[in-house]
Amino acid sequence: MPAVDSRSLEDLGERELVEACRAGRPGAFDLIVERHRRAVYLLCYRFVGSHEDASDLSQDVFLRAFRGLRSFRGQSTLATWLYRIGVNVCLNRVSAKDTLRRLTTPIEAQQFVDVRAELPSDLMLRNERNARVRAAIARLPRKQRATLILRTYHEMSHQEIADVLGSSVGAVKANFFHALGSLKKLLAETA
Amino acid sequence: MHLTSEELVDIAEGTRSENSAPHLAGCHVCREQLVDLQSMLSAAKDVDVPEPSPLFWDHLSARVSAAVAMEDDSARRKGSRFLPDGLRVLVDALMSQLGGRAFQASVVLAAAVLLVVLVGGRRPAPAVTEAPVVATAEPRVDPWVVPAEDDASLTVVASLTDGQDLETVREAGLAPRGSAEHAVNQMSDSELRELRRLLNEELARSGA
């Protein structure tokens, strides 16, 4: 039986924190949430394009992580493991049709962006362009969408994406290539 | 021979230099593909995520924490399926009160009930006598009843529940139907031992 680590939770590294969680140490899982909540939320938001849905999905991701913590072997980083759960939750829960419907009405999103330094005409053009790109990304096939999101917005390496998606680096690069190609076609359709 | 998708991605992302692919300079098709890739990469990167309110992050943590607590609670309930009904009623009542005043009150109450049982001892079934019951003018004295002022367990209960008003107790969900007390009174010795173990575990976990 491993010795109980008496250090403050803040001082624990990732693996030790996971062990603390498994041992039922109060606050350990809360700290994991605190450290990863932003990344998980942003990932979910990129998939669904809605603050409310991204919040719900983030909660679901962490709940699944809590349930599955005992099976976390530490073969990847905790972040990669959480991304894997996040991608699965997002792809399984949200159909492209739903996402598309939300993304074509990005009024809610516009309210949060800092636009103080932007001319109204520029802002309108930018919002319009962003909405088209979001909608096009939402229409990408599942693996292409996941690859594009993880690579472009989360700056994950191809290897990390391969770990998350359970594929090879070559497949990830091919997916990325096709995702960008599909994006061009979809944007051309809506031009 | 044209560049592979992998090579084009590497060049578009800048992880590989264009000079390492001399084919690119003379191939219109590959050059066009590369320009398209770079253009789409740039378009995708430009799409930002609206920043939620700074208060949102703690709200998200609280939501997750509540969901996890519920999950934990549910798992405990599943784990307590083997318990007899009376004990499960009490355990469920305790577990459902996780958090805040209600939990505190329920722990105090449960501990008090337990103390009454353990310190005061359980009343054995009265012995059956063959002598006929004769009505007398004097009040009947039950040898198992200890005057309240002499009962140490009641003093303990009083000190533990001091400051807990009826409202708090009602919020805790344990009184007034006497579900906890009733459940404890119905328990066997082994059930009481299990209850004591669970309460100790809960008290240790909550740091009470």
B27 φ, ψ (degrees, to nearest 5): -115, 110
pLDDT averaged over chain A?
A: 85
- Long-range CB pairs of A126-134 (<8 Å, 24+ gap) are A126/B46, A129/B43, A129/B46, A130/A106, A130/B46, A130/B47, A130/B48, A131/A103, A131/A104, A131/A106, A132/A187, A132/A190, A133/A183, A133/A187, A133/B43, A133/B44, A133/B46, A133/B47, A134/A49, A134/A103, A134/A106, A134/B47
**pLDDT of the residue at A5:** 61
Instruction: Give the closest-approach CA distance of A15 to chain B in angstroms.
Output: 20
What pTM was computed for the model? 0.61
Instruction: Give the closest-approach CA distance of A134 to chain B in angstroms.
Output: 7
Find chain B residues with C-beta within 8 A of A180's C-beta.
12, 36-37, 40-41, 44
Examine the pLDDT at A140 and tell me if it is beyond 90.
yes
Instruction: Give the closest-approach CA distance of A26 to chain B in angstroms.
Output: 8
- Of B6, B37, B56, nearest to A180 by CB-CB distance is B37
Examine the pLDDT at B61 and tell me if it is beyond 50.
yes
Examine the pLDDT at B175 and tell me if it is beyond 50.
no
Buried b (16+ CB within 10 A) or exposed e, A116-143: eeeeeeeeeebbeebbbbbbbbbbbeeb
Lowest mean pLDDT segment, chosen from A21-30, A123-132, A177-186, B134-143: B134-143
Residues of chain A numbered 146-175 and touching chain B (CB < 8 Å): 148, 152-153, 170, 173-174
Does the beta-carbon distance from B44 to A148 stay under 8 Å?
yes
Taking the C-alpha atoms of residue A59 and residue A90, their distance in angstroms, rounded to an integer, is 12
**Residue A42 forms contact with B (CB below 8 Å):** yes
**pLDDT of the residue at B98:** 45
Does the beta-carbon distance from A177 to B8 stay under 8 Å?
yes
| Between B186 and A127, residue with greater pLDDT | A127
Which of A6-10, A147-151, B168-172, B182-186: highest mean pLDDT? A147-151
**pLDDT tens column, B93-151:** 555 444 444 445 555 566 666 655 555 544 444 444 444 444 444 445 555 555 555 55
Lowest mean pLDDT segment, chosen from A118-122, B39-43, B125-129: B125-129
**pLDDT of the residue at A109:** 47
**pLDDT of the residue at B131:** 41
Instruction: Give the closest-approach CA distance of A174 to chain B in angstroms.
Output: 6
**pLDDT of the residue at B201:** 75
Does the beta-carbon distance from A30 to B65 stay under 8 Å?
yes
Find chain B residues with C-beta within 8 A of A126's C-beta.
46
Does the beta-carbon distance from A178 to B48 stay under 8 Å?
no
Give the CA distances from residue B118 to residues A53, B85, B104, B123, B127, in Å, rounded to whole numbers and listed in that order.
Answer: 51, 20, 21, 11, 22
Lowest mean pLDDT segment, chosen from A106-120, A143-157, B125-139, B191-205: B125-139
